[in-house]
């Protein structure tokens, strides 16, 4: 099994270095320029949009609920295991490249969510569905490409990503408790199955309260440790910047070198913030909003929160822990963050961290399922298709908890690369739709409209009429 994991790792690293890296940066910079740095210009406005995002769902899924679904998927193991893996294999410099991926990814996330909103459709129950498969189908008019991406996304999110999150829970609990692996698996299934079989609405209801609470709890823990060691902050920043461009590892016990930093920072950054991955827009499209740009701004802010705030705080806690933690026998991505926190605040923190990681990963399982359901709905609206997906997801939770960590992580890297490649190509060709929607939104705000309303027909800012009936006379609201 380890030999297979090593072979997959070679392929994953090659894809990251020669394809994913260049596409992510290239498309991110392209979209940043097209919007005149939307992630910078409208950054303060993102918070005011978020503050009113619980309003106006009208029986559907609110903008805030859609945001928390993606927050649940983002602020999960990518912030705990992902950062730890990036540091162990890429050194402190990997964090710098995670930042770069996030900053340009904020523009990518804005476009993904905005396009998902523009090309979404209304379901029979009054909720909306949309995402990369939908904007490829309606925007590029390429049904084959859309269906292929939908299949890849549904499989990746329901099976591969879900397995990663379940594996993370199992690995952490095994490392900090003496619980039997089968017992851990049963507990996971008991918690996840009822929500998953409840469908997208159930996921939205649970994520609405779970995601913000668990994110704030985790941020609170690492913030306390950061404040306790504030004098080390400048030194940690210096280490990150120096390692980002160093040809050799600078710190004992951690990986390093510029190539390792770039590869691991990019892979873990993408997995954590999801910008460009073709995942988050599936949830963004479900929101009931007055204008597509509103959800685009909220999702862009989610990338900032995930990487610039949460991932950075995690990295700080690990880096100040010292070599006695990094280089200790048995240290791996599954336990490094917990060991670092325990070294700072005491042994009592081990159990609370285990429980917190359980909630982080569990919420990510729900987010991944939500992404998969949207894509299955695109392929077939029949009830049996949804039930098959739900059953497959629950089974993946059980199997993932029993698999080895390297095999799971290396597999998800390749799956995400396939999704990202298809999605990023589509974003380039559909950029004019996102730019048009942004111009429409900003024009209304300049006219004093507090809550701009989007109309998809005869809109002078758009390249053509929106080919669905959702945005006729602002009816999507």
pLDDT digits (tens, 9 = 90+) for 236-276: 888 888 887 876 665 655 656 677 777 777 776 766 667 78
User: In 169-247, which ranges are E strands?
Assistant: none
101: part of which helix (H) or strand (E)?
helix 93-118
Is residue 60 within 8 A of residue 128, CB to CB? The reply is yes
- The reply to whether 74 falls in a domain is yes
Question: How does pLDDT run across 313-359, given as a tens digit for each residue?
Answer: 888 888 888 777 777 777 777 678 888 888 888 888 877 877 777 77
Is residue 93 within 8 A of residue 244, CB to CB? The reply is yes
Q: What's the rounded Cα separation, in Å, for the pair 389 and 199?
A: 10
**387 or 53, which is more confident:** 387
| pLDDT of residue 179 exceeding 80 | no
| pLDDT of residue 170 exceeding 60 | yes
Share of the chain above pLDDT 70, in %: 84
Looking up tokens 């908890």 gives 401
**103 or 206, which is more confident:** 103
- The reply to whether 146 falls in a domain is yes
The token duo for 441 is: 């939104």
| pLDDT of residue 427 exceeding 80 | yes
Q: What's the rounded Cα separation, in Å, for the pair 109 and 437?
A: 15
φ, ψ for residue 469, nearest 5 deg: -100, 10
Q: Residue 36's pLDDT is what?
A: 92
Is residue 91 within 8 A of residue 251, CB to CB? The reply is yes
Q: Residue 64's pLDDT is what?
A: 76
- The reply to whether 99 falls in a domain is yes
| pLDDT of residue 281 exceeding 80 | yes
Which of 240, 297, 316, 306 is CA-nearest to residue 268? Answer: 306
Which of 303, 396, 324, 412 is CA-nearest to residue 85? Answer: 412
Question: How does pLDDT run across 224-237, given as a tens digit for each residue?
Answer: 888 888 888 888 88
- The reply to whether 452 falls in a domain is no
φ, ψ for residue 286, nearest 5 deg: -75, -15
Task: Indicate the number of domains in the chain.
Answer: 1
Q: What is the mean pLDDT of residues 18-43?
A: 89
What's the first-to-final CA gap in the chain, in angstroms? Answer: 51
Q: What CATH number does residue 148 fall under?
A: 1.20.1740.10
Q: What's the rounded Cα separation, in Å, for the pair 114 and 440?
A: 12
- The reply to whether 258 falls in a domain is yes
What rounded mean pLDDT belongs to the chain?
81
**392 or 250, which is more confident:** 392
Q: Residue 203's pLDDT is what?
A: 65
Q: What's the rounded Cα separation, in Å, for the pair 404 and 168?
A: 10
Question: How does pLDDT run across 56-96, given as a tens digit for each residue?
Answer: 555 467 777 777 766 666 666 667 777 888 888 888 888 89
Question: Which domain covers residue 266, as residue numbers?
Answer: 14-31+49-447
**123-60-471 Cα angle (round to 5):** 60
- The reply to whether 341 falls in a domain is yes
- The reply to whether 8 falls in a domain is no
Looking up tokens 């269906």 gives 147
Looking up tokens 């005011």 gives 48
The token duo for 420 is: 């990202």
Pairing mode, strands 128-129 and 121-122: antiparallel
- The reply to whether 89 falls in a domain is yes
- State the DSSP string of 279-335: SHHHHHTTB--S-HHHHHHHHHHHHIIIIIIIIHHHHHHHHHH-HHHHTSTT--TTT
């Amino acid at each position: 099994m380890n030999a297979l994991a090593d072979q997959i790792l070679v392929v994953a690293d090659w894809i990251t270095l020669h394809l994913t890296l260049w596409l992510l940066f290239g498309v991110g910079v392209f979209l940043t320029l097209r919007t005149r740095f939307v992630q910078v210009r409208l950054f303060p406005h993102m918070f005011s949009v978020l503050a009113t995002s619980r309003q106006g769902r009208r029986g559907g899924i609110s903008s805030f609920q859609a945001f928390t679904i993606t927050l649940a998927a983002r602020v999960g193991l990518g912030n705990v295991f992902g950062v730890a893996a990036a540091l162990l294999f890429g050194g402190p410099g990997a964090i710098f490249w995670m930042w770069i991926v996030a900053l340009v990814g904020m523009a990518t996330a804005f476009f993904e969510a905005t396009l998902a909103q523009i090309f979404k459709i209304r379901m029979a129950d009054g909720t909306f569905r949309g995402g990369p498969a939908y904007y490829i189908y309606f925007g590029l008019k390429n049904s084959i490409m859309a269906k292929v991406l939908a299949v890849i996304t549904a499989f990746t999110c329901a099976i591969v990503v879900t397995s990663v999150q379940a594996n993370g829970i199992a690995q952490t609990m095994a490392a900090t408790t003496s619980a039997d692996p089968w017992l851990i698996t049963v507990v996971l299934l008991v918690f996840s199955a009822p929500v998953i079989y409840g469908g997208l609405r159930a996921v939205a209801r649970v994520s609405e309260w779970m995601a913000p609470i668990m994110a704030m709890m985790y941020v609170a823990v690492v913030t306390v440790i950061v404040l306790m060691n504030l004098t080390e902050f400048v030194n940690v920043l210096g280490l990150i910047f120096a390692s980002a461009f160093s040809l050799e590892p600078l710190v004992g016990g951690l990986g390093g070198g510029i190539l390792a930093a770039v590869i691991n920072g990019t892979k873990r950054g993408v997995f954590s913030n999801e910008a460009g991955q073709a995942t988050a827009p599936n949830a963004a499209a479900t929101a009931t909003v007055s204008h597509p740009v509103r959800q685009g701004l909220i999702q862009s802010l989610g990338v900032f929160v995930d990487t610039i705030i949460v991932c950075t705080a995690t990295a700080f806690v690990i880096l100040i822990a010292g070599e006695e933690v990094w280089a200790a026998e048995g240290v791996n991505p599954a336990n490094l963050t917990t060991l670092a926190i325990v070294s700072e605040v005491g042994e009592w923190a081990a159990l609370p961290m285990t429980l917190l990681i359980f909630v982080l990963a569990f919420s990510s399982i729900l987010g991944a399922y939500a992404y998969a359901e949207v894509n299955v709905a695109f392929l077939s609206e029949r009830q049996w298709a949804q039930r098959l997906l739900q059953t497959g997801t629950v089974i993946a939770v059980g199997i993932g908890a029993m698999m080895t960590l390297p095999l799971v992580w290396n597999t998800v890297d390749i799956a995400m690369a396939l999704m990202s490649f298809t999605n990023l190509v589509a974003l380039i060709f559909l950029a004019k739709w996102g730019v048009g929607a942004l111009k429409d939104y900003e024009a209304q705000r300049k006219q004093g409209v507090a809550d701009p309303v989007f109309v998809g027909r005869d809109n002078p800012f758009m390249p053509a009429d929106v080919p669905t009936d959702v945005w006729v006379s602002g009816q999507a609201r």
